[in-house]
């Protein structure tokens, strides 16, 4: 029988081995096995580790840490803030795009599918990788957080610079706990939630995190991230 650990993409299994062997991860596996049998869970089982599949460790140049997947049918595709092709971008993502247009000077994206970013080295990682339909945060504190922290610790140990975008206080707390800001680049802004729209746009206009990220990457010879989207 396929276990949750079996779904982890091969390039990540060795560095995450200790996390996958914990009782906490085994309990998460058991919990999700029941959830998949008794409830609708997003994203689809084969997309749970999409962020890791699209961005293996050697490719990571930046990390955007989200909270949990969108709980609406057809929305979540396993990448933080991203939605499946053809789905209208939710409020948080629209605000993120507004800040991106101001900062990076790109054309406003029409698609909310962030897969191109993931393929360019942006690890779009949610703190919690699954959710029950219609119930935001329903899989919080079920075992995902220690796994996510293990991912962050491994990425933070890689040769840098790697840019960690912290959108909101929860992301900032988790990242600063596991990432040495003297080795990697940690950029903090308000969350792009509709409740924080003005604060987020003002912060991005002032601090220009996407521009600063590329400046640090270019200075280190890693090349800029292409933030454009269809």
The predicted-structure confidence for 138-192, as pLDDT tens digits, reads as follows: 999 999 999 999 999 999 999 989 999 999 999 999 999 999 999 999 999 999 9
The predicted-structure confidence for 121-153, as pLDDT tens digits, reads as follows: 999 999 999 999 999 999 999 999 999 999 999
CATH topology assigned to domain 10-219: Uracil-DNA Glycosylase, subunit E (3.40.470)
Contact between 55 and 123 under an 8 Å Cβ cutoff? The reply is yes
Angle between helices 144-157 and 169-178 in degrees, nearest 10? 60
> Which residues are 186's β-sheet partners?
164
* Region of 84 on the Ramachandran plot (φ > 0 left; ψ -120 to 50 alpha; else beta): beta
Respond yes or no: is residue 202 known to be catalytic: no
Distances (CA, A) of 99 to 68, 85, 153, 203, 205: 21, 21, 28, 9, 7
Q: Which of 29, 68, 119, 202 is catalytic?
A: 68
pTM: 0.97
Where along the chain do its domains lie? 10-219
Q: Which tokens hold the place of 134?
A: 């219609």
Pairing, β 185-189 against β 163-167: parallel
């Amino acid at each position: 029988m396929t276990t949750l650990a079996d779904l982890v993409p091969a390039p990540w299994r060795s560095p995450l081995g200790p996390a996958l062997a914990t009782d906490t991860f085994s309990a998460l596996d058991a919990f999700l096995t029941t959830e998949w049998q008794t409830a609708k869970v997003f994203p689809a089982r084969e997309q749970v580790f999409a962020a890791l599949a699209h961005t293996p460790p050697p490719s990571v140049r930046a990390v955007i840490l989200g909270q949990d997947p969108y709980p609406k049918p057809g929305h979540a595709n396993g990448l933080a803030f991203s939605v499946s092709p053809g789905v209208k971008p939710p409020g948080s993502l629209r605000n993120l795009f507004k800040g991106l247009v101001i900062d990076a000077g790109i054309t406003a994206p029409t698609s909310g599918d962030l897969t191109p970013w993931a393929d360019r080295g942006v690890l779009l990682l949610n703190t919690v990788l699954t959710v029950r339909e219609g119930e935001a945060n329903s899989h919080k504190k079920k075992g995902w957080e220690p796994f996510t922290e293990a991912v962050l610790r491994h990425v933070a140990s890689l040769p840098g610079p790697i840019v960690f975008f912290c959108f909101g206080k929860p992301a900032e707390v988790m990242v600063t706990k596991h990432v040495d800001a003297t080795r990697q680049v940690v950029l903090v802004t308000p969350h792009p939630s509709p409740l924080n729209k003005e604060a987020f746009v003002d912060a991005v206009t002032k601090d220009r995190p996407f521009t600063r990220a590329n400046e640090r990457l270019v200075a280190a010879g890693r090349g800029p991230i292409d933030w454009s989207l269809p």
